[in-house]
């Protein structure tokens, strides 16, 4: 029963973060990820919008191009060592171009998931497992 409550709280917090990400997306923010599988995972979770791959060009050229668009930017790189370094570099370059990127969603997602998954592409499967655990446990508790 304790595990069920932990799963529910974790799922609730992750879904709040996904909702916040969806709000940014709805306002036209550019969501920066590392790979195509990240985009696929986020779309399966209901996040639509403008995704850009940070790994297709040099960081300088990439951030300059995105900064010229002038929208809000959400950095959602993986929460492994490489993703951490990339987030820091992207943030620094964006700030040099006058944009303050949103990093809190990534930071909170990392805190919520880092013990279980290390990347954005695994997020859909992880959320699906949490949903299954909370629903299956909930229904079995009623019987």
pLDDT digits (tens, 9 = 90+) for 99-113: 999 999 999 999 999
Structure tokens at 7: 């799963």
Kindly list the structural domains of the chain, giving each domain's residue range(s) and its CATH number in brackets, ordered by start. 2-136 (3.40.1360.10)
Instruction: Please give the share of the chain, as a percent, with pLDDT higher than 70.
Output: 93
**pLDDT computed for residue 141 by the predictor:** 39
Looking at the predicted structure, is the pLDDT value of residue 128 above 90?
Answer: yes
Quick one: pLDDT at residue 140? Answer: 36
Return the pLDDT at 137.
47
Based on its alpha-carbon atoms, the radius of gyration of the chain, rounded to whole angstroms, reads 16
75 touches 90 (CB < 8 A): yes
C-alpha dihedral over 65, 66, 68, 72, to 10 degrees? 180
Give the per-residue pLDDT at 3.
Answer: 82
d(CA 114, CA 81): 11
The string of pLDDT tens digits covering residues 76-93 is 999 999 999 999 999 999
């Amino acid at each position: 029963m304790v595990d069920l409550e932990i799963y529910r709280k974790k799922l609730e917090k992750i879904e709040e973060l996904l909702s916040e990400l969806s709000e940014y997306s709805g306002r036209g923010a550019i969501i920066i990820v590392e790979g195509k599988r990240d985009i696929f995972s986020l779309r399966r979770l209901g996040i639509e919008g403008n995704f850009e791959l940070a790994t297709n060009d040099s960081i300088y050229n990439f951030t300059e191009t995105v900064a010229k668009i002038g929208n809000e930017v959400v950095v959602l790189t993986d929460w492994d060592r490489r993703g951490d370094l990339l987030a820091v570099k992207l943030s620094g370059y964006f700030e040099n171009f006058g944009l303050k990127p949103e990093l809190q969603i990534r930071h909170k997602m990392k805190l919520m998931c880092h013990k279980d998954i290390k990347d954005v592409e695994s997020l859909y499967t992880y959320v699906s497992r949490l949903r299954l655990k909370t629903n299956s446990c909930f229904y079995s508790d009623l019987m």
